[in-house]
Chains A and B, each alone.
Chain A
Amino acid sequence: MVIVRNEKKNRTEEISFSGTVQELLHRLAINPETVLVVRNNEVLVEDETISKDDVIEILSVISGG
């Protein structure tokens, strides 16, 4: 299971997933233009692979104002 924390929604969920960052965002219906994806304090680009047991943070790049 991959643990995904969504900063904007202030929600953490566990999902069964393996694939690239791009595929994860597609599955979560998130536009890649609007977020940064972080694992262990490292920013991931879209072709990087996410494995089971990874803890992923999805940070919004859009200011809330």
Chain B
Amino acid sequence: MLCGKCSNKAVITLQHGSLCKIHFINYFEEKVFKTINKYQMIERNDHLCIATSGGKDSLTVLYLTKKYLEKYLMHVPLQALAVDEGIENYRERTLVDLKKFCNDHDVKLTIVSFKETFDKTLDEAYPIINKDLSKKPCNICGVWRRYLLNKHAAGLKATKVVTGHNLDDEAQAIMMNIFKANTSLAGRLGPMSREQEQGVFVQRVKPLYFCTDKEVRLYALLKGFQVDFAECPYSTSGYRHHIQEMLNEFEQKYKGTKQGIINSFLALLPLLEQQDKGQMVGKCKNCGEPANKETCNACVMAQQVSV
């Protein structure tokens, strides 16, 4: 199959046609830059913190955010932040790729860990927390990661946290919230976190919001980013994994399913935000980080492992 824009060999078939390497790279970069511009994700007075892991999404969003700043001559400080959860035979591998990438692209990298903050790696904490609070590893990891990213991004004086969440991640999160009737949580999704969360959360922005897993991996491959596949040993035990498989099966049979979910969600988002209006996020009495109750979930779990 040939590229729809020239006679070169195609590397991907999209809904609107096939593209060769050069035209795909142009298409992908334009899509990311348009997303940043449409939602005004980056402003000249920002200080950016890129949430990184060393996987395809975070390396791509780091590279393209830097490229965006250079293209638009924006002298915005940018640095990378990574969380080491302490998952044996997993995170240490992606952090090797991340350190090399940041070094090659002259980006300052800060790595923080569960172990140094909570005195336990995820591997050590999971059996304790699961026994007492019946939490799955992905629940613990999600809560502690969000906590550390927000806390350290604020500590680094960041005005925005740029994340590598892509269209697949978002479509999965939307469906998870629908299946569990979490309309309040659903209202917190979208390309950018809401204004009313500012002051407690550093605002989060998602430049890869309209890019699929497949597009991001292809871009990373064509750009020569070192991304080895490393699978979290806990990933297949989570609810998200089942939703992911379901959506990929649907996408194969009915092209455009994931984009349809995103488009429908964006049309409904103002209503979800309206419903949630006035419900301000409070602060944890223990650590001062964002919390819906008196004590945040991160502290509750931390107290559990310190007993």
Contacts and interface: CB of A to CB of B under 8 A. Distances in A.
Interface string B167-184: 010000000000000000
A35 B251 CA distance: 13
A65 B234 CA distance: 8
Contacts of B21: 43
Interface in B192-248: 212-214, 216-218, 221-222, 229-232, 235, 244, 248
A64 B213 contact: no
A57 to B, nearest CB: 10
Contacts of B168: 62
Contacts of A48: 1
B274 interface: no
Given A8-B229, A45-B1, A61 B216 contact: yes
A45 B216 contact: no
B299 interface: no
A36 B217 contact: yes
A18 interface: no
A8 B89 CA distance: 15
B229 A7 contact: yes
Interface in A34-65: 34, 36, 38, 42-43, 45-48, 59-65
Contacts of A34: 213-214, 248
A60 B232 CA distance: 14
B18 interface: yes
A65 B1 contact: no
B26 interface: no
Given A36-B214, A36-B218, A43-B11, A60 B248 contact: no
A45 B229 contact: no
B105 interface: no
B170 to A, nearest CB: 14
B289 interface: no
B191 interface: no
A33 interface: yes
A16 interface: no
A32 B235 CA distance: 20
Contact of B232 (A8, A31, A46, A65): A65
A45 B13 contact: yes
Given A63-B55, A65-B235, 14 more contacts: A8-B229, A36-B217, A36-B218, A43-B12, A43-B21, A47-B1, A59-B229, A60-B217, A61-B56, A61-B212, A61-B216, A61-B217, A62-B168, A63-B57
